[in-house]
Amino acid sequence: MLNIMIAVDGSPNSLQAVQHGVQLVQQGLRAHVVVAHVQKEASFLELATQDSELIANASLEAGMDLVAPALDVLRLAGVSYEVEIRLGDIHATLLDIAEEKGCGLIVIGATGESTLGSILIGSVSREVARHSRVPTTIVKMPEVLETDEADGDLSQADTAM
């Protein structure tokens, strides 16, 4: 059985990556999913002014809250999964998780938010794909048809074949 690591950060893009993983399983791929989430470590100022154990526990709890929707999708689809939530450098820690769990595939969402960002992939996605030793799938959000603001009809660019 293939272990697939799906990186989840609570964004719609990462939920789309989870949906992609579910589709792979529904299409017959025998796989177990490792849901991976990484929180940045506390800054020196935070560590100097607050209890480091409390900060770490709060970060891990926040991580569980962020992955909850992804776990719901996997549970409803009947996909086998486990959860890994860690603190550290995001892309390096994701790669560590994939290696430690023996993952043969990484699935991660693209994170473009602006017009330029929608063309490019996010820095974490790019770094994971660049440094991964296993195949990595970067899942883009589906495009939404744009409508002509003047009359609500589809523009010619959207309907041309």
- Tens digit of pLDDT for each residue in 113-155? 444 444 445 688 999 999 999 999 999 877 654 444 444 444 3
136-139 sheet: strands from edge to edge? 81-87, 31-39, 2-7, 105-109, 136-139
Asked if 109 contacts 35 with a C-beta cutoff of 8 angstroms, the reply is no
The whole model's pTM is what?
0.77
DSSP assignments along 72-88, one per residue: HHHHHHT--EEEEEEES
Give the span between the Cα atoms of 96 and 103, in whole angstroms. 10
Environment class of residue 3 by beta-carbon count within 10 Å: exposed (0-12), middle (13-18) or buried (19+)? Answer: middle
Q: Are 6 and 108 in contact (CB under 8 A)?
A: yes
Q: Which residue has tokens 């330029």?
A: 116
Give the per-residue pLDDT at 64.
Answer: 87
- pLDDT confidence band for 34 (50 / 70 / 90): very high
* Closest to 137 (Cα-Cα) out of 46, 29, 10, 1: 29
